[in-house]
Chains A and B, each alone.
Chain A
């Protein structure tokens, strides 16, 4: 019994029951399949997060975002005063997280690819694109760059899903995806 020492002193030489051997083999095969799915998807799949990231100070990143807002703002969102920027297709789009907003609102064209930049100016934030449900962690001091290709037209929300203080639940941003 498992609460007493093994009855057979040389327990490591005992033969193993057949159903155990089969199960261990099956489980090992499944473990290997799951392992190789990840590198396989890097070649065959279209949803892989890039590993491109740079160290940057919050001030330097804020400047990049301001430059983008200056150059590409097309309108303001309702009466909120939040700029909506439309970066050139194939170009760079910058968004930042800070207490407690995602800034600015970005408008993308369906089917086009963008180099999307994300960083935080203060604490960690969670960039959660809804209802798509793509979730990326945003750190201060790190500028993350990944290529994004929206495949559906619509109005998307960016919700913060990393706790960032008492206003955390009010931190919502927006991304528009339009047809041309």
Chain B
């Protein structure tokens, strides 16, 4: 039961072998679903590229449903389960509590994901990922998601139990590492998320089987988004933990202040899982007071948390780099960073794109009145491709470039292509997000097969700019897909055929082994000043303020509504 341990030669972590296997299988499964979800996504992008218009209407709506399900839910949650086991068992040098339960969770997730995918592929459940009632899917569509969620919940409890075991067996001293703390934040939000999902999906399952007569469509959305939006907050907490982990692994960076970073995570637990109202701002039957409080996470305190991480993550890197002597000017620390290492380039693009594209657009369109000019337009997928794809997915990819060669001691099969992969994927998908937002600003609808309205009685001519941007979105998505394909090939190829490692190839900073002592100590006395990061943060804030008020100005020009 206690299993055996091995010691990682690069990091010195004591790794519990059952945990090792679980991390590996969850990660590999996640990558397979990234492939499936990515292919459906490519089909969607190529159909919305006006000159290509690839899929027929039925297939388009089917592919869009499957894309949301596999890319947003299945790939990410499987990877997050791997991350939870890593952040508990590996980082705390502990045994994983109840590997059998962890396997049960794994199989429930896999079977659930398969059931729902089959339901969608059958063609009778093209209800989109959100499955808004009263549009009805086949019962197994909901059943699969419920099984998947139960499996994920078991994974969360295995994580909590492992924290308990590690504490009790004194496998570490003092408090848990910041990365584990961030993972704990993600797991707590996950429990809330899955709870909300059960509250709405179980009755919806019974409704689809005709045991329940009707489900209120507004109430469905309020609770469904308690799951749908909160699950994105799991991602935020998880990928920010990845950011801190990567800064530590590559640079030996430590947080500028444990207190500030942990408080920022704590703000997430308190406020981030509000926000189901983001999706209900132009809906009947809800009061403005509720909308304003909920959509702003109570005074934007969760946004505050993210803005803090936005400073402390690059700040930790800057402090570490300056300690090593990269002290010239404001940005030598950044210029001399290992841009050819996919762990770093993926991390850097993820931080920038998540903040500038995903963060700013999210707060803008989550503003009660500004939502009027963005709701259900292409702006919405633009926003969440910046958060979930270039933010979360890219951060996970970056960490995988370290996990696979270092933790599992394998040579990457395509090290040369790996260098380019984060740029292809990160820049391609950032551009896709940007073009989607641009088309949305001009009113292009999301989830729509034909913007030319060729078969419609009445029509509307979108301006040429919309067609241009949807075309460019297609090009950018193809570039991004190429990047995703290289990642998948590299990961699966390495795990199957990768040679055992000699020294680290695509992995950490050569000048400083990971297990070496921290390069800065706590508090103002021992911490380097981080002027470069502060300047970057001020640029971010300026862009944020300007863009926010530009949109109020846009709103002020449309028809009066009251």
Q: Residues on A close to B: CB < 8 A? A: 1-9, 11-12, 14-20, 22-24, 26-28, 30-32, 34-35, 37-39, 41-42, 45-51, 53, 77, 80, 82, 101, 113, 122-124, 126, 128-144, 146-152, 157, 159-166, 168-174
> When chains A and B are docked, how far (Å) is the Cα of A110 from the Cα of B455?
31
Does B245 sit at the interface, judged by CB under 8 A? Answer: yes
Q: Which of B515-546 contact A (CB under 8 A)?
A: 518, 521-525, 527, 529-531, 533-534, 537, 541, 544-545
Please name all residues of chain B whose beta carbon is closer than 8 Å to the beta carbon of A142 when the two chains form the complex. 217-218, 284-285
A169 and B57 contacting across the interface, CB-CB below 8 Å: yes
18 contacts between A and B (CB under 8 A): A3-B178, A5-B173, A14-B259, A17-B523, A27-B304, A32-B300, A35-B296, A46-B561, A124-B217, A128-B376, A128-B445, A131-B463, A133-B441, A133-B558, A135-B282, A148-B560, A168-B61, A173-B458
The reply to whether B457 and A157 form a contact with Cβ atoms under 8 Å apart is no
Is there a chain A Cβ closer than 8 Å to B208's Cβ?
A: no
Task: Name the 4 nearest CB pairs between A and B, nearest first.
Answer: A157-B460, A31-B300, A161-B445, A149-B560
Chain B, residues 385-426, CB within 8 Å of chain A (1/0): the string is: 000000000000000000000000000000000000000000
CA distance in complex: A18, B455 (Å) = 62
Interface centre among B261, B311, B522, B561 (most CB of A within 10 A): B561
Residues in A neighbouring B285, C-beta threshold 8 A: 53, 139, 142
Report yes or no: B445 in contact with A126, Cβ–Cβ below 8 A. Answer: yes
Q: How far is the CB of A123 from chain B (nearest CB, A)?
A: 5
A60 and B562 alpha carbons, distance in the complex (Å): 25
Interface string of B305-349 (1 = CB under 8 A from A): 001100110011000000000000000000000000000000000
* Complex alpha-carbon distance, A166 and B450, angstroms: 11
**CA gap between A123 and B127 in the complex, in Å:** 11
Contacts A2-B179, A23-B308, A37-B367: A170 and B457 contacting too (C-beta < 8 A)?
A: yes
Q: Quick one: closest A residue to B258, CB to CB?
A: A11
- Asked if A17 meets B524 with Cβ closer than 8 Å, knowing A34-B296, A134-B558, A168-B448, the reply is yes
- Decide: A128 and B175 in contact? CB cutoff 8 A: no
> Does residue B253 face the partner (Cβ distance < 8 Å to A)?
yes
A34/B527 in contact, CB under 8 A? no
Q: Are B283 and A30 in contact (CB under 8 A)?
A: no
CB pair B443–A133 under 8 Å, yes or no, is yes
Within the assembled complex, what's the spacing in Å between the Cα atoms of A6 and B296? 32
CB distance from B94 to the nearest CB of A (A): 12
Q: If A161-B447, A172-B456 touch, does A132 touch B299 (CB 8 Å cutoff)?
A: no
Instruction: A128 to B374: give the CA distance in the assembly, Å.
Output: 10
Q: What is the CA–CA distance of A101 and B304 in the complex, to the nearest angstrom?
A: 43
Segment of B112-120, B137-145, B286-294 in the binding face: B286-294
Q: How far is the CA of A28 from the CA of B61 in the complex (A)?
A: 42
CB of B377 closer than 8 Å to a CB of A: yes
Binary A-proximity of B425-457 (CB < 8 A = 1, otherwise 0):
000000000000000011101111111010111
- Residues of the A chain whose Cβ atoms lie less than 8 Å from the Cβ of B300: 31-32, 34-35
Min CB gap B266→A, angstroms: 11
Question: Which residue, B450, B458, B544, has most C-beta atoms of chain A within 10 A?
Answer: B458
In the complex the two chains form, what is the Cα distance from A137 to B366 in whole Å?
A: 15
* Number of chain B residues close to chain A: CB under 8 A: 113
- Which residues of A have CB within 8 Å of B3? none
B91 lies within 8 A of chain A by Cβ: yes
Given contacts A2-B253, A27-B308, contact A49 B372 (CB under 8 A): yes
Residues of B contacting A169 with CB < 8 Å?
57, 448-451, 453, 455-456
| CB-defined contacts of A126 to chain B, threshold 8 Å | 375-376, 445
A173 to B: closest C-beta gap in Å: 7
Contact digits for B246-263, partner A, Cβ 8 Å, 1 yes 0 no? 011100111111111100
Q: Which chain A residues lie closer than 8 Å to B486 at the CB level?
A: none
Report Cα–Cα, A167/B281, bound state, in Å.
26
- Chain A nearest CB from B317 CB (Å) reads 11
Residues of B within 8 A of A137 (CB): 280, 282-284, 375-376
| Known A24-B308, A38-B369, A161-B446; contact A47-B257, beta-carbon cutoff 8 A | no
Contact of B176 (CB < 8 Å), options: A5, A113, A134? A5
Residue of B nearest to A142 (CB): B284
Selecting from B128-136, B192-200, B350-358, B489-497, the interface stretch reads B128-136
Apart from A6-B522, A128-B443, list 13 A-B contacts with CB within 8 A. A3-B514, A16-B259, A18-B529, A20-B311, A38-B288, A128-B377, A129-B559, A131-B443, A132-B559, A140-B134, A147-B560, A163-B61, A168-B449
Docked Cα-Cα span, A63 to B152, in Å, equals 48
Instruction: Indicate which residue in A133, A135, A171 contacts B442 across the interface (CB closer than 8 Å).
Output: A133
Report B-chain residues with C-beta under 8 Å of the C-beta of A23: 307-308, 311, 534, 537
What CA separation (Å) do A138 and B375 show in the bound complex? 12
Q: How far is the CB of A81 from chain B (nearest CB, A)?
A: 9
Q: Please give me the residue from chain A that is nearest to B527 by CB atom.
A: A17
Q: Which residues does chain A contribute within 8 Å of B57, judged by CB atoms?
A: 166, 169
A134 → B minimal CB distance (Å): 6
Residue of A nearest to B92 (CB): A5
Q: Is B169 an interface residue (CB 8 A)?
A: no
Nearest chain-A residue to B457 (Cβ)?
A: A80
The stretch of B33-41, B156-164, B548-556 that contacts the partner chain: B548-556
**Chain B: CB-nearest residue to A160:** B445
Say if the beta carbon of B172 comes within 8 Å of chain A: yes
Contact A135 B561 (CB under 8 A): no
A45: which B residues are within 8 A, CB to CB?
369, 555-556
The chain B residue sitting closest to A152, CB to CB, is B559
- Please give the distance in Å from B252's CB to the nearest CB on chain A: 6
**In the assembly, what is the distance between CA of A163 and CA of B545, in Å?**
33
B85 at the A interface (CB under 8 A):
no
Known: A131-B463, A159-B460. A148 touches B559 (CB 8 A): yes
Q: Assuming A1-B518, A38-B367, A151-B559, is B457 touching A163 (CB within 8 A)?
A: no
- Bound Cα distance A51, B285 (Å): 7
Residues on B with beta carbons closer than 8 Å to the beta carbon of A140: 134, 217
Selected from A3, A37, A144, the residue in CB contact (under 8 A) with B284 is A144
In whole angstroms, what is the CA distance A28 to B299 when docked?
A: 9
Nearest-Cβ distance from residue A22 to partner chain B, whole angstroms = 8
Contact with A along B98-131 (1 / 0, CB 8 A): 0000000000000000000000000000011000
Check if B299 sits within 8 Å of A24, measured CB to CB: no
With beta carbons under 8 angstroms apart, the residue of A2, A34, A135, A173 that contacts B375 is A135
The verdict on A37 contacting B552 (CB below 8 Å), with A11-B259, A20-B315, A135-B372 known, is yes
Residues on the B chain within 8 Å of A150, using CB: 559
Contact call A130/B460, Cβ cutoff below 8 A: yes
